Amino acid sequence: MNLIPKRKCIFLDRDGVLNEDLNDYLYKLEDLIIPEGVGEALQALKKAGYLLIVITNQAGIAKGMYDAEAVYAIHERIQEVSGHVMDDLYFSPHHPDFSGQSLSRKPDSLLLEKAIAKYNIDPLQSWMIGDRSRDMEAGKKVGAKTIHILPSPEGHSGDFFAKNLREASELILSKS
């Protein structure tokens, strides 16, 4: 019997990790700011053999502010900057006050579980990188290690802390 080997993955939140988080919702390309080092960090993680999968809450869809096409357009621009190294995008278009509860919305882990099943991912070899406690909760629910992106370590709820994606990628690569 030939078993397919499990794969390792970096699950990435979008806003605050791959791009600067706005006070409001990001859905216009002209508002997208990709921090320095994001493309290089993604390329280094890809070169190290990780799948790169974006897992993002997009409540602005439920609120009627934008549609899925806006989410795909932002994702495509980040792909261009990173050399098209990201493997997939999963997003939750829900908000409890507008569309009801959904297990796809972080801190729940349904989107991570779907990716794990689709790509035969080993969560124990994988990481969740995000800038919110809900990202850390979702990653921990599936057994992934977590890195909380914050300006300083105070209040971080991840297994590890980093100031940005570049630092997070260096941390992961030093532990691989």
Residue 88 appears among annotated catalytic residues:
no
Residues 6+ positions from 57 with CB-CB distance below 8 Å: 91, 92, 94, 105, 106, 134
Catalytic residue among 13, 88, 131, 135: 13
Taking the C-alpha atoms of residue 116 and residue 9, their distance in angstroms, rounded to an integer, is: 9
Contacts of 137 (CB under 8 A, 6+ apart): 106, 107, 157
Catalytic residue among 15, 31, 67, 97: 15
Tokens, residue 140: 């921990």
Q: Is 13 a catalytic residue?
A: yes
Q: Which residues are registered as beta bridge partners of 120? A: none
Looking up tokens 């621009």, which residue turns up?
77
3-state secondary structure of 78: helix
- Calculate the alpha carbon distances from 98 to 53, 62, 166 in Å: 26, 6, 35
Q: Catalytic residues, which ones?
A: 13, 15
